Amino acid sequence: MGSRVTIHMAASLDGFIARRDGSVDWLETVSEFGGGDSLDPEFVEGFLNTIDCYVMGSRTYETALDFEARGLGWPYGDKPVFVLTTRDLPRRRGTVEFYSGGLAGFVNDHLRPDFRGIWFVGGGAVSGDCLRLGLADEIRYSILPVLIGDGIRFFEKLDRDVPLHLTEVKAYKTGMVELCYAVRPSGPAPDASSRGPHTSAGLPSGVKE
Ligand SMILES: NC(=O)c1ccc[n+]([C@@H]2O[C@H](COP(=O)([O-])OP(=O)(O)OC[C@H]3O[C@@H](n4cnc5c(N)ncnc54)[C@H](OP(=O)(O)O)[C@@H]3O)[C@@H](O)[C@H]2O)c1
């Protein structure tokens, strides 16, 4: 079964996914873009159906638990959720599993054989690891119409350039813009004859079409 690892997060225009203290109050933006699309429920449902499991760092999990405790719901439905942690964290639902250890082995040997749509949903530390280890096939960046000046970066501690290939752009009525990029393998540029926005050239090796 072909699999695809996607990193998805919502971030401020200046590239932060949370304030330094972890708060995400700024995600509630108030703006309107008349020419934008609306997120109709059918589209959202179809989109969610392409996700088979979620992977997250422990601090993101703790934020999700806190949201749930405040009555804001659990955003991952009944899909499996893999939480990376070395700690003994509360397990409030059967769909949650904890993992500690090497991320590359976990993704390639444990997740890829069993799941097609593998979504990394943060935070910055885990997303950075995912890219540094060459595990991500795709990045989805939902840019919110706000600047917050400081905070936790979308990708923490990247140690090299990561070439990308834009595959999709969408603007929504809320002023949110979603960018989707394929992560291109590092190394020599692909043959010029195979470049182009609608070819599969440059897709990473893990993406099987
Ligand atoms: N805007 C958005 O869309 C969005 C999305 C997600 C998160 N967030 C925000 O981002 C913040 C969290 O991001 P973050 O970068 O601070 O943390 P994070 O990536 O969520 O979690 C990092 C932690 O996960 C554990 N971990 C990571 N890799 C591991 C591995 N291979 N094995 C075992 N444990 C591992 C470690 O903690 P321990 O071992 O100590 O448990 C590590 O400190 C939160 O405030 C959250 O609200 C925002």
Q: Comparing C-alpha atoms, which of 163, 125, 150, 101 is closest to residue 9?
A: 125
CB burial class (10 A; 0-12, 13-18, 19+) of residue 116?
middle
Q: Which CATH number do you get for residue 169?
A: 3.40.430.10
Residue 199 Cα to ligand 1 midpoint, Å, equals 34
Determine the structural domain holding residue 42 and report its residue range.
4-194
Q: How far is the CA of 62 from the centre of ligand 1 (A)?
A: 9
Residue with tokens 């009944």: 78
Q: Which of 104-108, 148-152, 178-182, 199-203 has the lowest mean pLDDT?
A: 199-203
Q: Is 59 in the pocket of ligand 1 (CB under 6 A)?
A: yes
**Is 190 within the bounds of a domain?**
yes
Alpha carbon nearest to ligand 1 atom 24, residue: 57
Closest-lying ligand 1 atom to the alpha carbon of residue 24: 47
Identify whether 203 is part of a domain: no
Whole-model pTM: value is 0.89
* Tens digits of residue pLDDT in 102-145: 999 999 999 999 999 999 999 999 999 999 999 999 999 999 99
Contact 131, 183 (CB under 8 A): yes
Q: Tell whether 205 is covered by a domain.
A: no
The verdict on residue 60 lying in a domain is: yes
Q: pLDDT band at residue 67, thresholds of 50, 70 and 90?
A: very high
Would the CB of 135 count as within 6 Å of ligand 1? no
Which atom number of ligand 1 is nearest to the Cα of residue 59? 20
Q: Tokens standing for 142?
A: 């939902």
Q: How far apart are CA 138 and CA 119, in angstroms?
A: 10
Give the amino acid at 63. Answer: T
Beta-ladder partners of 178: 142, 170
pLDDT average, residue stretch 172-183: 97
| Spacing, Cα 192 to ligand 1 middle (Å) | 38
Distance from the alpha carbon of residue 57 to the mean position of ligand 1, in angstroms: 3
Best residue among 7, 9, 17 to mutate for probing ligand 1's pocket (most ligand atoms within 8 Å of CB) is: 17
Give the number of domains in the chain.
1
Residue 25 to residue 12: CA distance in whole angstroms: 12
* Ligand 1 pocket check for 22: Cβ under 6 Å: yes
Q: Residue 208 domain-assigned?
A: no
In a domain, 110, yes or no: yes
Phi, psi torsion values for 175, nearest 5 degrees: 90, 0
